[in-house]
Structure 1
Amino acid sequence: MAPTPEQSVIIVGAGPTGLALACELAAAGVSCTVLERRTEVSGQSRAMALYSRTLEVLDLRGHADALTAVGRPVGRMLPAQGASIDFTAIDSPFPALYVVPQSRTEEALQQRAIDLGVIVQRGAELFGLEQDATGVRLQVRTESGEWEETADYVVGCDGAHSAVRELSGIAFRGRTYDIAPILADVRLETPPPDDVTILTGGGAMMVSIPFGDGFHRIAVGHRDHPWTRDEVTLEELAERLKEVLGFDPKPHDPRWMARFKIHQRLADQYRTGRVLLAGDAAHLHSPLGGQGLNLGIQDAVNLGWKLAATLQGWAPAGLLDTYQSERRPQAQKILKATDHATRMATHPSPVVTGLRRAVLTRLLGRRKIQKFAGETLSGLRAGYAGRGRPAVLGGARLRPGQRVPDLAVAQAEGAPVRLYELMRDGRFLLLDLREDGGAAAVAEAWGSRVCPVRVDGDVPRLSGLSAVLVRPDGYAAWVDSTSSTTGREARVRQALHRWCGTEGPTPQRQPAPAADSAPARPAQEKPAEAPDTEPAAADRT
């Protein structure tokens, strides 16, 4: 291994997850390069649903506006006939499901990454990987030849068939569903409602998402129609749609059509030594509900600040390991939920189909449950608990590990501002909610790692709290609900030590110790299997 790696981080995969991670690292001052096997951004839309929380975490760094400008907000999801989920009532600056073609998401994030100084190398295929205590060495090839890259860390964001995962020897356990749906972007003479629509019956399932330009994204499958290499035709698509709808909606003018496999798989570990995984390289699940792209981008935002802190030498002990302990359970929940939903949606029994419809209609007819469902699907109820969580939690106040909303606050010094605007540079935010400003004064000793804000006046959503430490990914790291001023500065200092390291200016970049390092081994030869079609095989999160 070279004595000094050439770069801090190499990201393999220039899909939304890899590009979002590159933006996070570059904004934090960490040099990184993205290697991508594809020579250009795919014109196929593939993943296209951006939920509220994903747009919020992108908005933390100012990326969201470029995506909402080209996206179409859809206010409702119809998970069954007679049942609906209203996204417009949820508490978010983005109260909708935004339909944004993945190609547009990649273009926006790639441009932002390049503007921040990231090198994006396309047409580059990874074929070798070795690591030791000092760094990682990669073997890369393009049409013009082969070369070696070295880095402190490598992150595999290279999708379902991740070379990083295979070369690192990380198991990817799970299964492939028998059903192999058709995916198509088409016009329909008789289109479904202008919402995200899910219809089921007799072992068949259809999902329809409107683009807003007359085209619909259609995913339709039947449990009796397994994988085949046969090319999809408009006649077959019409037949599959008729099985669900009871009539032929007459699809025409397809932009593209393909058959794809549905996998449910989870990496045994998200980190081995100096190699990490994110996005589809770490988890695959049924696309029902459109969670995959969102899960990957939130992986990136969780990992970015932790990896930057590790490379810059101020990370508290064990911080990088919390990437796996926080994000892998989130993926497990999504895998479990989407698996159950897919099995129910494709169940052949009309009794089960009727029961599903009746239960969803009854439950979602209640306002509180509908709001809960919308917030859950949108990612607003996902959070992290454990690190710094108090022994006793009660009431409706903000808790450690919970999402911090984009609140408007008045500053003791300066104009009113929204919290997410204060987090554009990826620092921690220390909100001092007491008049004396003691907590903010303590935080100044952490220099550029923490942005202290003296809040002027009452903030109803933070009522009963005297201080809040907000992580760079927009979740509460620590809250102080003690009204007494006795020992307050000590409590603030302890929380800052726990999350932001020791006082003083940010240390210079220094190598971090490898954890749980495992020897790299070449990718094992796979058993013969029918390959996925291009949309699945080329998917990069």
Structure 2
Amino acid sequence: MTPKNKVDILIVGAGPTGLVLALSLLKQGISPSSIRIIDKYATTISTSRALATQARTLELYRSFNLTDELLSHGHKVPAVNLWMRGKHQARLSQSEAGKELTPYPFMFVLAQDKHERILEKALNEHGAFVERGVELVDFEDQDSHISARLLRRNGPNNNTDGHGTEDSYNEETDTEICETAYLVGCDGAHSAVRHGMKVNFEGAPYKQLFYVADIETDSHGQSPIINGEVHVTFKGANLVIFFPYDDKHRCGRLIGMLDPRKTDNEDNNPAADREYSFDDDVAPSVRDILDLNVVKVNWFSAYRVHHRVADQFRTGRVFLAGDAAHIHSPVGGQGMNTGVGDTINLAWKLASALKGHTDSTGDERLFDSYNIERRAFALQLVHTTDRVFTFATAEGLIADIIRNWIVPTVVPSLFAFQGVREFMFRTVSQTRINYRNSPLAEEPRGTDPVQSGDRLPWVVISSNKPEEGRDDNYDTFNAVKWQVHVYGTPTESLRQWCGRKKIDLDVFDWDEKYTASGLGRDTVYLLRPDQYLAVVAPSGPGAAEEATERLDRYLLEKGLNL
């Protein structure tokens, strides 16, 4: 048996979910030597996989100073189009619907392999490196720590930077026991961590067999599909979605269903042993439905779509995030973004425990809140995508009538209303997510539009009132930290309170336009490190109680010692 290694956090899985968790911990001052991130695959992925990066993810990435770099490598999708029976029915302009809601009023498309390279480069710059070819075999909860058994399949020095741990490995295939305070499974739908936790992964596969294909086309100028926008097309029960991912409008991602007559055998089950090809099984329907001339296929895969959510995202010192915790239809481009949201939520809670900002009771509250906050959203997301997916792929006369006659009439009329467009944008962009029902949220107070647990509303700072060179109020999100915002004039007691707590106080000169976003004049907003509101406390003359008293009581009740 090899010597034991000890770390504070062991992250299993080095996709976007695991990389963001490690990066967020490092940005909060956790030492690289305290974090270990492993992946069972010896090399990084070379396929595009997840494409869509939603507005909320881009907002959160500002804390890592990565948003601008990501935007320079991908494609901004300005609109989503709906087609029925070959006829264009509606166009949802992302920029119009989201222009008052976020600095990123678009869907951003970037291939997952490129996305991961940017994240891993940032990780390496902070002195942390992925250990590849290292697999979690099993683990035991020892109360005070987790004892994890790891298997390295390709010998020492397998991680990408060449920094191996040769003293821990003496054979080409070797095992190691790693002691860790916390274990986080970011290892996908077949998660070894989830299996070790013995939690149920409730759900089921859809009966349809889907395909994904990354293609190149020469149809630019001939097909209305090739215009840099997303196109969702229906023909009968056949659904095809086209995602562009280059500014030259030549490359794109196709997601669609394989013909059930070709994928079902005599028992009406998918023919799992059959080999599928783009030319034989997809190209004819693509030409028929989309009028696309595909000249090259860079990647093609047939797969089964599932909808599942783990019973628990946390048991003791072990946590699940991303596809290890929830999987659902790819429609809407939510998967990777939800995983990133999981780990942004979890990272500050782990960091608080490691840095002693909570007592043991506070640790439990924080860790329980992760399970409550993120599982609630995962259930909501799976339920929503399940309903949309079931409707989109339903078979039968009634479904055809609704899809082909009622929807084309109703949807364009609904999209004419700005409120509907904003609702759709907020849902897809994940800017609607809130934690009002979290144990970390204050009790709702009145009918104020902005409450504890909400995402901070985004506002542009008036050009005639520049504040420290800021363009918007999200410019303060240059680090993963607690902070206080005041739109108006802070009290002297608040300034002293922030000084004692060593929390940044960001003051914005009041502008009446902030009212439209739900922000209150002189109100105190205490922001969690994941940019959600912890406390919303009216301040100044006439306030029911001193804001600093509210802040102190909140920290005491939640077991936080900032």
Q: Smaller-chain TM-score range?
A: 0.7 to 0.9
- 2: CA distance between counterparts of 1:146 and 1:66? 38
Tell me the equivalent position of 1:196: 230
Q: Structure 1 residues 277, 435: closer, same or farther in 2, change over 3 A?
A: closer
Tell me the equivalent position of 1:152: 181
Is 1:174 aligned with 2:208?
no
Is 1:46 aligned with 2:49?
yes
Per mean C-alpha deviation after superposition, the further-off stretch among 334-343 and 412-421 is: 412-421
Tell me the equivalent position of 1:332: 379
Tell me the equivalent position of 1:490: 549
Tell me the equivalent position of 1:516: none
The residue correspondences of 1:487-526 to structure 2 (distance < 5 A) are: 487-498=546-557, 501-502=560-561
Residues 118-142 of structure 1 show CA distances to partners (whole Å, capped at 9, x for unaligned) of 2310111111111121111111112
After TM superposition, give the deviation of residue 40 of structure 1 in Å.
1.9
CA contact (8 A) 2:258 2:281 kept: no
Is 1:230 aligned with 2:243?
no
Tell me the equivalent position of 2:527: 470
Tell me the equivalent position of 2:110: 100
Residues 335-362 of structure 1 show CA distances to partners (whole Å, capped at 9, x for unaligned) of 1111111111112242131223333222
- 1: CA distance between counterparts of 2:65 and 2:22? 14
The residue correspondences of 1:14-163 to structure 2 (distance < 5 A) are: 14-30=14-30, 31-80=34-83, 81-89=88-96, 90=98, 91-142=101-152, 143-144=154-155, 145-163=174-192
Amino acid across the alignment from 1:159: G
Q: Structure 1 residues 207, 375: closer, same or farther in 2, change over 3 A?
A: same
Residues 147-171 of structure 1 show CA distances to partners (whole Å, capped at 9, x for unaligned) of 1211100100000111111122121
Q: Structure 1 residues 118, 498: closer, same or farther in 2, change over 3 A?
A: farther
Amino acid across the alignment from 2:415: L
CA contact (8 A) 1:204 1:244 kept: no
Tell me which of 183, 187, 195 is aligned to 2:212.
183
Amino acid across the alignment from 1:180: L
Tell me the equivalent position of 2:244: 210
Tell me which of 322, 342, 346 is aligned to 1:299.
342
Tell me the equivalent position of 1:344: 391
- 1: CA distance between counterparts of 2:441 and 2:251? 48
Q: Structure 1 residues 121, 482: closer, same or farther in 2, change over 3 A?
A: same
- 1: CA distance between counterparts of 2:467 and 2:16? 36
Amino acid across the alignment from 1:241: V
Is 1:385 aligned with 2:436?
yes
Q: Structure 1 residues 265, 366: closer, same or farther in 2, change over 3 A?
A: same
CA contact (8 A) 1:186 1:216 kept: yes
CA contact (8 A) 1:14 1:35 kept: yes
Q: Structure 1 residues 186, 455: closer, same or farther in 2, change over 3 A?
A: closer
After TM superposition, give the deviation of residue 189 of structure 1 in Å.
4.4
CA contact (8 A) 1:26 1:117 kept: no
CA contact (8 A) 1:270 1:282 kept: yes
Q: Percent identity?
A: 27
- 1: CA distance between counterparts of 2:283 and 2:538? 60
CA contact (8 A) 2:259 2:281 kept: no
Residues 92-147 of structure 1 show CA distances to partners (whole Å, capped at 9, x for unaligned) of 11111111000111011111112122231011111111112111111111222221
After TM superposition, give the deviation of residue 388 of structure 1 in Å.
3.2
Per mean C-alpha deviation after superposition, the further-off stretch among 140-149 and 399-408 is: 399-408
Q: Structure 1 residues 307, 5: closer, same or farther in 2, change over 3 A?
A: farther
Tell me the equivalent position of 2:500: 445
After TM superposition, give the deviation of residue 365 of structure 1 in Å.
2.3
How many matched pairs?
Answer: 496
Query: What is the TM-score when the length of structure 1 is the normalising length?
Result: 0.86
Q: Structure 1 residues 445, 40: closer, same or farther in 2, change over 3 A?
A: same
CA contact (8 A) 2:9 2:36 kept: yes
- 1: CA distance between counterparts of 2:390 and 2:72? 36
Show structure 1 runs of 5+ residues with no match. 504-541
Cα RMSD after superposing both structures: 2.5
Residues 488-539 of structure 1 show CA distances to partners (whole Å, capped at 9, x for unaligned) of 3322322343457236xxxxxxxxxxxxxxxxxxxxxxxxxxxxxxxxxxxx
Tell me which of 425, 436, 444 is aligned to 1:374.
425
Of the two structures, which has the highest relative contact order with CA contacts closer than 8 Å and spacing of 6 or more? 1
CA contact (8 A) 1:465 1:479 kept: no
The residue correspondences of 1:233-312 to structure 2 (distance < 5 A) are: 233-242=278-287, 244-245=289-290, 249-312=292-355
After TM superposition, give the deviation of residue 86 of structure 1 in Å.
1.4
* Structure 2 SS opposite 1:260: strand
CA contact (8 A) 2:19 2:120 kept: yes
After TM superposition, give the deviation of residue 233 of structure 1 in Å.
3.3
Query: What is the TM-score when the length of structure 2 is the normalising length?
Result: 0.83
- 1: CA distance between counterparts of 2:288 and 2:65? 44
Amino acid across the alignment from 1:47: A
- 2: CA distance between counterparts of 1:155 and 1:278? 7
